[in-house]
Structure 1
Amino acid sequence: MAEAPKNKPIKRHKAIQPLSREHHQGLLLCWKIGKGFEKGIEPERMKTYLEWFWENHLKLHFEIEERYVFPVLGEDHTLIKQALEEHEHLEYLFQAKEDISENLKMIRRDLESHIRFEERVLFNQIQKEASEEDYRKLQEHHDQEISCGVWHDEFWI
């Protein structure tokens, strides 16, 4: 499967732009995990932040994609199957209570990979096949990015 060029910005339909901006927040989360490890932050402290991020941001983001974006291609489409498997895997990692340090490393790696896949491959295919009605439904249910507020313990600074 061909990927979009990495240095060229991808033009997103207005209805998908909030999801792409949320993806940026997910990439920032990956960066924060890396900074936490660089600074020697206790994994439990980072895990507390990740649990908050999951509940206040990522969980709803996944639900919106699954309810309003993925149906454009249908549940039997290879790309949708991959995205759903990755959502399930990431949810498991965010909720896991054991091997915290290893889970954080896997979240960092797998979430970044998942976001890159959605942005470079899946969303491009969605945009090729989506109807104006599909975009209207998405905008009706998600017209601005999810704001998860401010976290009190900025361990990454």
Structure 2
Amino acid sequence: MDNKKPIKRHEALKPLSRQHHFGLLFSWKIRKGFAENISVDRLKIYADWFFLQEIKPHFKLEEDYIFPILGAEHPLIERALKEHRHIERLFRDREDPQNSLSLLEEELEAHIRFEERVLFTEIQEMATKEELTKIDEIHFDAGSKEEYADPFWEQN
């Protein structure tokens, strides 16, 4: 039996963790789309929308406000930034969207799990009270307020 306790996340980081939840849902929706034989074009349109509405602003928040707590030379930050660039390339790929989407749903999920389980835990431990207060004062946009117009994942 798995006795893992839920991670106790500092209030200042909870909005970003909620955004991570949307990323995990994205991965699930792409997997479901493939399983339901939804056209790659429809999946790519959704991925493009998700990139602009969720991923791009989320990465900017992390890179501008969260990652500086550990510093650019910290190995965990180097890994996170490398993964950000790779995930962005997968979102932008037009040559082989089926392969990119397949890789994207796996790699985005793995990246989110790394940030939640390892990176945010380290940041939470290393951040000063002042740094966490500053993050808490930033008005995070917890993702897009608009619903995506084509909920392909709801099909039977």
TM bucket normalised to smaller: over 0.9
Structure 1 residue 44 displacement after superposition: 1.0
Deviations for 1:61-80, whole angstroms, at most 9, x for unmatched residues? Answer: 00000011000100000000
Structure 1 residue 46 displacement after superposition: 0.5
Consecutive unaligned residues of structure 2, counting only runs of 5 or more, are none
| Distance in 2, Cα, partners of 1:6 & 1:38 | 31
| Distance in 1, Cα, partners of 2:65 & 2:81 | 13
Instruction: Quote the residue 2:81 is aligned against.
Output: 84
Q: Which runs of 4+ in 1 moved over 4 A?
A: none
Q: TM-score, normalised by structure 2?
A: 0.93
Report the number of matched residues: 153
Q: 1:137 aligns with which of 131, 134, 145?
A: 134
Structure 1 vs Structure 2: percent identity of aligned residues?
Answer: 49
User: Do 1:41 and 1:155's aligned partners in 2 also have CA atoms closer than 8 Å?
Assistant: yes
Structure 1 residue 135 displacement after superposition: 1.3
Q: Alignment partner of 1:75: what SS?
A: coil
AA aligned opposite 1:135: L
Q: Alignment partner of 1:11: what SS?
A: coil
Cα RMSD of the aligned pairs, angstroms, is 1.4
| Distance in 2, Cα, partners of 1:55 & 1:143 | 16
Deviations for 1:82-118, whole angstroms, at most 9, x for unmatched residues? Answer: 0000000001111111111000011011000000000
Q: TM-score, normalised by structure 1?
A: 0.93
Is residue 122 of structure 1 aligned with residue 116 of structure 2? no
